[in-house]
A and B are shown apart, each in its own frame.
Chain A
């Protein structure tokens, strides 16, 4: 087949041009990324740690909301289902950036109003907590759909059998539903985790100093735009490659004992 096309961007070439025109050498690039103070390496890594922590928090919160949402959508009353449908529809139709702004302002001001009416001092909510809360709410909507599909993939006879044995609902979920839905849920959850790591970059727009914002500060201070943005891109890429590997091993583990994976 000859219809393939090689990727249209050539970042390597532009670096070469930059090096030739700017007269900057590889050594000075390494200086910029050094860990000691004139270099920005440690600042970038600190940003990376913040990004990963926020992504972890948001993913965990989203998972909790998603489990609740999925059970609500499957077994809840009609009103619960409708409300959850409204929640997932709105979150999936409105850009994350807009949701972050709305929730960021709404969340902080409503918590402060609540505290004031209860007679407490108003508090400054840290960007870290607000970021986790906001991204968690967004993740929750997607996780609801992923987990709903995964729970449906558990043969209903299994759940009925457990019910017939008189298992209480929580034990049923823990012993029967969760272990069996895990294999079906992991690909979707892996995708969500990758979205979570990338969505943390949106917090740069509201001024939270995570990896992308620090990268921009470093780049505009030193004027070495390609160096820093590509270094940050490499960091994000490393996360995504490592998590893809991790999740595929996790899936293999969750599928152990299954005869034909995915053939249903």
Chain B
């Protein structure tokens, strides 16, 4: 269907860093933003930031949030690829459980899944003697394995659905051509199918990563000390209400910005053939 040229002028309001970006109104808005930030910096109470104990805690919290994000994204994607493949190309007895798993994860709140794993297994494991005596008990007693598990399953469920679409979107002729060349099945998957699916899914994956970042503060409810838990603790210790929350928002926005830039860079590395 031919697009009318009028639609184009409406469809491009996205502000980018082009020469036209610093229009007079933007300079005024930036000035207002700077004044707002200065007012926040001067008139609000940031004295707790100077306490060394809190500085250490904040850095450690940011570190916990970051590794939790990276580990769960990597593990979750490793699970999502077979889940997507099972739904896109598997026989029904593999596709149906995979679809049910994705539906289950996507249909219930992450907080509920997290609490089910932590409180459920946390109350179940101590009652089983051989687990208490095993070497992994000191790890199972801590909270982070449950946080990693819950977040990983969540990423797997959401990204599995995305991967399903990506695997289906690879043109069938590509796979047929590879098959016709006599490529073994796994090589077809490794060389043709997976790379093209991943390439397709890269922009969505960036969004999924930001969504996972936004899900990480939930682990604070099961006593994992991430940046959110640190901020809550500072608020309880010092009775400062807003400032730690503002710091929290800034930290998350900064990490989200890094993720967006990282994926933009990744996307630019992918060669795109434009006709």
| The stretch of A56-64, A112-120, A169-177, A216-224 that contacts the partner chain | A216-224
Most buried by B among A85, A200, A201, A237: A201
Contact present for B115 and A229 (CB under 8 Å)? yes
Per-position binary interface string of chain B over residues 101-143, scored 1 when its CB falls under 8 Å from any chain A CB and 0 otherwise: 1011011111111011001111110011000000000000000
- Residues of chain A within 8 A (CB-CB) of B221 are 205
Interface centre among A6, A22, A216 (most CB of B within 10 A): A6
Whether, in the assembled complex, B35 has its beta carbon less than 8 Å from a beta carbon of chain A, the answer is no
- B112:A81 contact, CB within 8 angstroms: no
In the complex, B79 has a CB within 8 A of chain A: yes
Distance of A96 Cα from B218 Cα, bound (Å): 10
A14 near B110 with CB under 8 A, answer no
**Does any Cβ of A come within 8 Å of B50's Cβ?**
no
> Which A2-59 residues have a C-beta within 8 angstroms of B?
3-9, 11, 14, 17-18, 21-22
Q: Which residue of B lies closest to A77 (CB)?
A: B25
- Asked if A237 contacts B108 (CB within 8 A), the reply is yes
Decide if B217 touches A97 in the complex (CB within 8 Å).
yes
Contact (Cβ within 8 A) A155 B89? no
Q: B210-223 interface mask toward A, CB cutoff 8 Å, 1 = contact, 0 = none?
A: 10011111100100
User: Does B41 have its Cβ within 8 Å of any Cβ on chain A?
Assistant: no
B side interface size, CB within 8 A:
68
Q: How large is the interface on A (under 10, 10 to 19, 20 to 34, 35 or more residues)?
A: 35 or more
Contact indicator A233/B112 (Cβ below 8 Å): yes
Return chain B residues, CB-CB under 8 Å to A83: 29
Most chain B Cβ neighbours within 10 Å, of A97, A220, A264: A97
Q: How far is the CA of A155 from the CA of B1 in the complex (A)?
A: 10
- Contact flag A95-B120 (CB < 8 Å), given A5-B86, A155-B4, A198-B109: no
Secondary structure of the B contact surface, majority rule: helix
Q: Which residues of B contact A1 (CB under 8 A)?
A: 85-86, 89-91, 185
| Complexed CA–CA distance, A204 and B228 (Å) | 16
**Which residues, 59 to 94 on B, are CB-close (under 8 Å) to A?**
79, 82-83, 85-86, 89-91, 94
A253: interface (CB < 8 Å): no
Q: Is the CB of A93 within 8 A of B120?
A: no
Contact A79:B25 (CB < 8 A) given known A1-B89, A5-B86, A152-B11: yes
Interface 0/1 of A192-231, CB less than 8 Å to B: 0010001111101100000010011001100101100110
A98 and B112 contacting across the interface, CB-CB below 8 Å: no
Supply 27 A–B pairs (Cβ within 8 Å), ascending by A: A4-B90, A4-B94, A5-B79, A5-B83, A6-B98, A7-B98, A7-B100, A14-B124, A17-B124, A18-B124, A79-B29, A81-B15, A93-B210, A93-B257, A95-B215, A97-B217, A105-B241, A156-B6, A198-B108, A198-B110, A202-B111, A212-B115, A216-B115, A225-B120, A236-B109, A237-B103, A237-B107
